[in-house]
Structure 1
């Protein structure tokens, strides 16, 4: 199948498919005499696997590791379980961060419950004050170093 058909069947944009090939998450397809790339069922299966992992917010390095582990079907699956445990720990930490963020936003919104001018706005004043209390993310917050980085997705 051509890349457009692969894209349609997997529900993944063509540019994303090319990107996954470029970074080595997907094998490059064979090219026909006409120069077109031709994808096989294995490409679709891999693309769907990657998409499911991304839907679980897994980073590229985690997906790469899962693919590497999947290529050893008779090996012990404890490494897969350990990777998932690390990812789950990271997700739980992010949930706690989001709960904290929610509380900060609620506090800011409560600071401006009465009609005021912009100069008197409790939200804008609170944002200026809050900046000093918001911790900066560190690389050690990542469950797999360097996979989510500051900002989040890769």
Structure 2
């Protein structure tokens, strides 16, 4: 990806990509964003492609991709490896579905415990606390 305009400081890049400067530096350390050459006595300059790349990383993160997975997606960014990208997305979709199933089970158990707490009529022991104590044994 070519940087057409090379005139942004790291702060301006962060603002344009709606992230913090430390996020830019972190992405550079992780190899997700290259660090431009720093001219002697000058400051590094970034361009439009850098803004697009940071936005790509953030978009992928919002979909649940880890930074390692984002790195894989960036390796495929030329758009010619659609099957590989599809496999990564399918794997992520499976992970998300598994997490949703776990969350549904958690929601069900917690709902039952809340109902038990509300229906305890004069019992000394809290059903919620008792259940957690039994689970920890």
**Is 1:37 the equivalent of 2:44?**
yes
- What is the aligned partner in structure 2 of residue 108 from structure 1? 113
How large is the Cα RMSD of the aligned pairs?
A: 2.0
Specify the SS of the correspondent of 1:33. coil
Deviation at 1:24, TM superposition (A): 0.3
**Gaps spanning 5+ residues in structure 2: where?**
1-7
CA gap of 1:105–1:35, structure 2 versus 1, over 3 A, is farther
Structure 1 unmatched runs, 5+: 133-154
1:53–1:63 Cα contact (<8 Å) kept: yes
TM-score scaled by structure 1? Answer: 0.75
TM-score w.r.t. the length of structure 2 is 0.84
- How much does 1:124 deviate? 1.1
Structure with the greater alpha carbon radius of gyration: 2
Q: How many residues align?
A: 129
Query: Deviation digits for residues 49-103 of structure 1, max 9, x if unmatched?
Result: 00000010101121111111114x4x34111111111111111111001101111
1:92-141 residue CA offsets vs partner (Å, 9 max, x unmatched): 11100110111121122122114768x62221111112346xxxxxxxxx
1:2 aligns with 2:9: yes
Question: Once the 2 structures are TM-superposed, how far is the Cα of residue 29 of structure 1 from its aligned partner?
Answer: 2.1
State the distance in 2 between where 1:38 and 1:128 align.
Answer: 57
Range moving further from structure 2, 10-19 or 89-98: 10-19
In the alignment, the residues of structure 1 paired with residue 107 and residue 15 of structure 2 have an alpha-carbon distance, to the nearest angstrom, of: 37
Q: CA deviation at 1:36?
A: 2.4
Name the structure with the higher helix share: 2
Q: 1:115 to 1:14 in 2, by over 3 A?
A: farther
